[in-house]
Every structure is written in C-alpha cells, then in structure tokens.
Structure 1
Amino acid sequence: MTVKVFSEALGNYVEVPRPLNSIVSLDPAATEAIFMMGAGRLVKATDAFSYRPPEAKLVPKIGSYTHVDEDELRRHDPDIIFTSTGVQRELSNKLLKSGFNVYPVPVATSVGKILDNVIIIGEIIDKKKEARSLYLNMLSKINPLIGTIKQATRVYVELDLGGPITPGFPTHISDAINILGGINVFDDVDEAYFEPKAYQILERRPDLIIYEPKRGAKVDEAAVIERLKARGINIATSKIRITKGDFLAHMGPTFITEAMYWMQQAISSAN
C-alpha cells in the first residue's frame, strides 16, 4: 500500500509506502523531528550534521548538505529520503533523477514553519498522533515567551558559517526575536541569510550582539570583539552573548524548546 503526500517544493505528489521500513534523512531538522516522534529506528543513514538527538550520532553518516554517497544510499534502499529546500535543491533533483524517492522539507522561514514541518514529516512517516503531540509541546513552550522582552532591544545576530552571516526577515531566527519582543536589526532585509557590510551594522546600532561560532569552536567575548574590530566594527555600547555552535542556525524542534529560551535570557540580560 502507498499513500500520496503533496510536496510544495516539487509541485507534485510523493508516493510513500505503508508501512515505512527505511528512511534516510539528509536534513538535520527532519532527523531530529523523526527521532522525537519515536521513529528513530527507521532511520538507516543520515548526513554528517544530523547529531540531534544523541541517538542520531550512532546512525551511519553517508553525506553532507550538498553531497551523498549514492552507492551507500542504494545499499540502504530507503523508502523515502528527506532533504530540505534551499541549498539542497540541486541534491534533491539529482537524487530524483537517479530514481530515489525524495521529499524536500521546506526551509524554516519562521518559527511557525518549524511547527508546520513537524506535521508534514509526521504525515509522511505515519506518526500523526506523535506529530500532534510534539506540535502541541512546542506550542506550549512558545506561548509563555511571547512579548517577554519589554524593551525593544535591538539585536544583531552573527553566525560563523565559513564567514560572518546574519539572518534577515524570512528566517526562523528573526521571527523568534520578534516573538520574544526584541528587534532583529536586519529584519527589514528581504534576503534570508547574507554577509552584512560593517557600515550597515554600525548604522543600525545594536544593543546586543549574539555571536554563534562554528560547531566545536571555543570563542570568548574578547575574541569576538577582536574579530569585529578587524572588520571595522567597534560598538563599545553593545553587549555580547555567545552561543554554542550550530544552535540558533538549527531549524529542528529544539530551536523552540531550547534555543528560544536561551535567546530570551540573553536578550533580557542585555537590558
């Protein structure tokens, strides 16, 4: 038996077997959601960045965001492969042309989209009840945080993604800051992720700089200040908070259950 699930990214229906026996996830957010819905045993392989939850670290790693070992993929013979839209579009198209069954999960452009993606994934893997439960759990975490930042704190977020990248309007990070009651200084920019010019940061006068290093990197406040100064960014009045790597950039459920709480505390402490 198969069911048809519509994919907005593909503009077509994806046929999914019932029951599912084998999943390959090349999207860390999807991997986390699948495990949190209790279907981790079905995940036979993932990308190298799927390490949430801890159990996912034990699953064979056969690819990255843009490449995958197709021989290994065939060996695992997945019923469905989860990718994401955006940077994985080319990979998704390549796998489709190779005859694999692929479902590209939409990149989260808002906190709401993280919630929506749980429902989408839950339908595909036939974990509808678990998806509803996870959805409600995340929603219950969001509601107490709404508007808790009473001062309109201006926040500049910098992600070290091989270069200084900041989120614009159509991102889950910018949306989360707004939900909390803060202001992303680049919330007026249509581009999702981009490298800002020094003068653009300076003229927006952030009250708080949130710096996210590469995963595994250990960076202190003095090092962040020096990195900013080297680019001509000297904002003595801005406070600095440092996340662990791949924290705010992550688009899975724990962005809501963990990262948004960290952001609330970080922004509150800057007032």
Structure 2
Amino acid sequence: MSTAYEIRETLLKLEGISHSYNGRPILKEVNAEVKNVHIPGREQGQIVGLLGPSGVGKTTLFRILAGLMEPTSGKVLLGADAHPVKRGTVGVVAQDYPLFTHRTVLSNLLVATNNDSAKALNMLERFGMAEHAKKYPSQLSGGQRQRVAIAQQLLCSEFLVLMDEPFSGLDPVAVKNVIKLLGEAAAVDEHKTFVLVTHDIEAAIETCDTLWLLGRDRDPAGQPVPGARVQRVIDLMACGLAWRESITSDPEYLRVLSEIQALFPQL
C-alpha cells in the first residue's frame, strides 16, 4: 500500500552544472532538483541515490554539491530562497566515518553545535547513542561510528548531508543495518536531505525515494561523449517503493532493479 504524500518547495537545485579538467569535460549541463516531501502526521526527509559507473564523474559532482569545488559553469542552490551552496554548510560523511579521535562521542557533537549540550544530547537520544556519550570513537563499532558521524553532520549542516559509498565493503547484515539507520536519520526532520553516492543498486532502491542515474550521451556510433549528466530520474515514491521495509520480493522492486541494470552499460 502506497503512502500518501505531498510535493512541496524545492530544497536543492542543480542548475546547468558543467565541469572540465585540463580541457576535458567531466560533467555537462547537469540539471536535477530535490523537493520537500510532506507526509501528513510524520516527519520524513528526502534520500536521493546518485548512481553511475566508475569514472563517470560522481566524485566531481559530490565535491561540487558539498561546496568543495567550483564548477566550470552552473550552480548549486539550496533552500526555498535558492541561495548558493558554500563550503561548510553541507554535511559530508566519508566512507571511514571520520570523527575527532581525541574527543568523546558527546564532544564530537558539541563541536557541531557550538557547545549546545541539550541539542547534542537530544541528537544522541534520537540515534540511540546516548549511553555511549562518554566513549571515544576507538571504543565504538563501525556501525556506531557511522551513527555518530551522521548525527554530527546533521547538526553542522543546514539540511543537506552527502554520503560517499555508505554500503561499500559491508556484509549483507551490515547493509541492512545501514539502510535502517538512514531511514531513521531521514525521519529527524522533514527538510533533512541525504544524497548518497553509491554503486550498490539494490541497497539504493531499498533506501532512497529518488534515484539519479549519471551517465554520458552517446554519438551515432554508440561511443560515449565526454561529459556526464543526469540521464534518468527514477521516482521510487511514484513506484510505491519508498518508505517501506522488505521490498526485495515486490515485483515493482524487481522491475526497477532490472531496468537500472539494463541501463548501466549505456551510462
């Protein structure tokens, strides 16, 4: 059964993003947007999956979205007032979940809140990590470090958090745990928006409400033309696959998975 929802204001807009390196186009006219999704009676943020083959330009787009790199042309706009992205306003969670090793869990969050202990403790409660507040990162499991890293970045970002390969190198049980964690993190606030860069198509379908497929155009001979753009947007909300658990046996999940797997060689 599909969840009733309402599409509201634009939260993130990629407007004509192009980038070249040594004269070679990496990205070409990347256009995409994320809108606020309102579900009556509950908080529900957005989770977008950025998929594409290796070397297509996902890392470059990731850095541009984070405000860490200026595109050759185009812009990234945040919020209903469409202000340009700036370094430090977007949360970034790298693959190794970096934290300040000399600080406790609570202290890591206090750095992100300008020492607002009530705000930091509330976030730890929401992530089920309050009992670990006095521990150091070295005393946590990988999954616990990831929880703290996401909580930290939620606190220090306006509303956008980027994650680099959150499922990489994980066993199936750990992948399921990360999927669950991301669902919980997105439910912190209606405006919280996650963009996940990943190669894991199956996990992306299970986790996200929207998928962006980044790829290159092809010339008449079928050869890739330099410069990638968003070739396809897959709306998992409209497919009835968003905000649900245990969808892997659903015929619609299998259809979407087959569609993406067929598209990938041409991206």
TM-score tier (shorter)? under 0.3
Structure number with greater CO (CA < 8 Å, separation at least 6) is: 2
Answer with 1 or 2: which has the greater Rg. Answer: 1
TM-score by length of 2: 0.25
- In the superposition, the TM-score normalised over structure 1's length comes to 0.25
Q: Decide which structure has greater helix share.
A: 1
